[in-house]
Amino acid sequence: MLQFKLVMSIETNDIKVISFDVEGTMVTTGFSAAIWFEMIPQRYARRYGLDFDEATKRIRQEYDSVGDRQLEWYDVQYWFTRFDLGRADIAMEELQDRVIYYPETKEVLNRLARDYKLSVASGSPRPFLKHLLRDIEHHFSDVFSSTSDFKQVKTADFYKHICRRMGVEPRQIVHVGDNRQFDFLEPAGAGICAFHLDREGKSNDPASLRDLAQLADLLNGR
């Protein structure tokens, strides 16, 4: 019943753009985790003559001392400079093979690209997006990073901004992502038709999607 209602609400709208979150939605979080919790502690351990566990402990304390409300927290070069580890961009290139797309991602993008403009609305900073989107970037007409472009997390205001930038009304966009707050409640607050992607089935909400293929089925079935 709920799925039926969703399809009907999509049908009555004039959907032009499908907007995607990146990490946890199209790409696993493995690349970022490898940067923050493997590469940085490894280099820190080498630089200061510590073992990996001690380096990890110190680095976590350092991360916590800044906290995720400060923009520096998201800035990988800030940490490389703070720890005297050299250039982050070169180090990140070494981990390119840790970028893993979910199994259905590329097929879904191919399917949806036939009927819609596709865009990215991510909280990941641009230096990460450069790697995370490398194989799929050609599908997207616009890529927005809330932290790099707007210095904020993904709020309803951020979503209103990106609608204006793309020259579409919020009701003409469908957004999908795995964070209930930033990918569902905030875009919905901006008037966007949003879908929460719950890959692990943790949410009780029957409107949550289990993978991106379900979204493509809903949209192609209009």
Tell me, by CB under 5 A, how many residues bind Mg ion.
Answer: 4
Q: How far is the CB of 139 from Mg ion (least distance, A)?
A: 18
**30 interacts with Mg ion by CB under 5 A:** no
- For Mg ion, the closer of residues 41 and 123 by Cβ is 123
Residue indicated by tokens 């790099």: 148
- For Mg ion, the closer of residues 43 and 196 by Cβ is 196
193 bridge partner residues: 174
**21 interacts with Mg ion by CB under 5 A:** yes
Cα→Cα distances 62→55, 78, 79, 109, 176, Å = 11, 12, 9, 38, 33
**198 interacts with Mg ion by CB under 5 A:** no
Q: CB neighbours of 10 closer than 8 A, spacing ≥ 6?
A: 174, 193, 218, 219, 222
**178 interacts with Mg ion by CB under 5 A:** yes
- For Mg ion, the closer of residues 21 and 198 by Cβ is 21
Residue among 141, 149, 135 nearest 74 (CA): 149
Query: 3-class DSSP state for residue 24?
Result: coil
**186 interacts with Mg ion by CB under 5 A:** no
**23 interacts with Mg ion by CB under 5 A:** yes
- For Mg ion, the closer of residues 29 and 77 by Cβ is 29
Residues lying near Mg ion in the complex (CB under 5 A) are found at 21, 23-24, 178
